[in-house]
Structure 1
Amino acid sequence: MSRVGKSPIPVPSGVDVTVDGADVTVKGPKGTLSRTVPGAIAIRQDGDTLVVERPDDERQTRALHGLVRSLVNNMVVGVSQEFSKELEIIGTGYRAALQGSTLDLSLGFSHPVKVEAPDGITFEVPVPTRIVVRGIDKEQVGQVAADIRAIRKPEPYKGKGVRYLGEHVARKAGKTAK
């Protein structure tokens, strides 16, 4: 039995979960998320908890059991608390600015890079070298943060670029160090 899949999902007050066959819809104070559950995985509601069950022990079903439980749990957490990823910008002259819902990045290119916030995502720039990506969908928050990081990945010689907050960048010695 999957250790992740068999643990129940607590549903906090103020969050409404609707299970209609393979479709799961979660409504909360921050918004609404819905997802279609793959395979023969069943979700049932027991009072203020959700239980994810699998019909058999086939390899594919076992693989999906823990995955579905994690996805539904992330939906419940997202609509009640919201997810965020923080990025930091390292480099002389590298900075970020927020203009409405557009993120304006100066990352050493000959032009500023503009990143438009997709639906459900908000940007915050508390200081010019820090970006906070917020949203209720964990998958989307992570993807937007990864896309911003991919614009100028941290390079190994000086460490300049966009990195996740607290990310360790392996540094290399330059040509002169032997």
Structure 2
Amino acid sequence: MFTPARRRCAQSITSNSSSTSIPTFLLPAFSPAAPRPFTTTSPNLSKIGSAPLSVPPGVTFKILPPKNAARTGRSQQMSTVQIKGPLGELQMDIPPYVNINQDASLPGPTLTVADSTDAKQRAMWGTTRAYLQNHILGVSEGHSAILRLVGVGYRASVETSATTVSEEYPGQQYVNLKVGYSHPVELGIPKGVTASTPQPTRLLLEGSEKEVVMQFAAKIKAWRKPEPYKGKGIFVNGETIKLKNKKIK
């Protein structure tokens, strides 16, 4: 706010330097202010995106040639990563601005982006790396979700047939839920996911693709979300809820 006044004062002092002088300790106040940067730290690379992928033994990580842009209707060609392991095979399309370095001297495949200053590329940098690592873990060890049914009479079972839903693929199984409704809830298990009931109030979902497993778990949970007064509902993995006091009128 005082910069213009200081500049005028400094100019007048310079023009009359022969007759006027100011103390040395006041000179910094009248000198032109240098632009100050918003931050003094240097820009850092993505901590997740720049981390090398961990490929265990028995898993093959292969980059397929780019797809035909005219056939897929995209302006830029996208390459595909093929991951094979003991539990299956998964594929994932990679954005064209993401590069994968498979140098043997590195501890694992490393991802880079064409322009690290672009917000979209920085966001997809870590996201792409996280998806690839989940696929690698899925084909080697698999992903799982444990659902706990908390409530009086809440039960879950895995059936080979259903009366309220139609079959989506041959040999499909169904999850049968009894969670306080007047009718049982039947849900078809997605392809690539296996379900089992170690206990009547426990439901175990397993599969190689984490996104499919967790989406199906969320679909089951939506039928009876945990409520905060009695603590009843369907809990996924280590989910907890803080109980509230009853409303007293």
State whether TM-score is above 0.5.
Answer: yes
- Cα distance in structure 2, aligned partners of 1:12 and 1:142: 23
In structure 2, the partner of 1:19 is: 63
CA distance in 2, matches of 1:175, 1:81: 47
Q: What is the alpha-carbon root mean square deviation over aligned residues?
A: 1.4
Corresponding letter in the other structure for 2:87: K
| Matched length | 177
Aligned to 1:157: 229
Secondary structure (helix, strand or coil) at the match of 2:227 reads: coil
Gaps of 5+ in 2: 1-44, 67-78, 161-172
Q: Compute the displacement of 1:140 (Å).
A: 0.9
Letter in 2 for 1:151: W
What aligned pairs does 1:27-38 form with structure 2 within 5 A after superposition?
Answer: 27-38=84-95
Aligned residue for 1:54? 113
Question: Any conservation in 2 of the 1:5–1:69 contact (CA below 8 Å)?
Answer: yes
Match of 1:105 among 160, 173, 177: 177
Does the CA contact (< 8 Å) of 1:96 and 1:105 recur in 2?
yes
Which range moved further: 107-116 or 31-40? 31-40
Q: After TM superposition, what 4+ stretches of structure 1 lie above 6 angstroms from structure 2?
A: none
Aligned to 2:10: none
CA distance in 2, matches of 1:18, 1:166: 35
Listed as ranges, the gaps of 5+ residues in structure 1 are none
User: Residue type of the partner of 1:51?
Assistant: T
Give the alignment's TM-score, normalised by structure 2: 0.68
Q: Match of 1:75? A: 135
- Percent of residue pairs identical: 40
Alignment TM-score, normalising by the size of structure 1: 0.94
| Matching residue's letter, 2:114 | P
Between the aligned partners of 1:129 and 1:121, the Cα distance in structure 2 is 19
DSSP-derived class of the 1:151 partner: coil
Offset of residue 166 of structure 1: 2.7
Is residue 54–residue 61 contact of structure 1 (8 Å, CA) maintained in 2?
A: yes
Measure how far apart 1:55 and its partner are: 1.5
Larger Rg belongs to: 2
Q: Which has the higher strand share?
A: 1
**Partner Cα distance (1:165, 1:37) in 2:** 30
How far is the alpha carbon of 1:38 from its aligned partner? 2.2
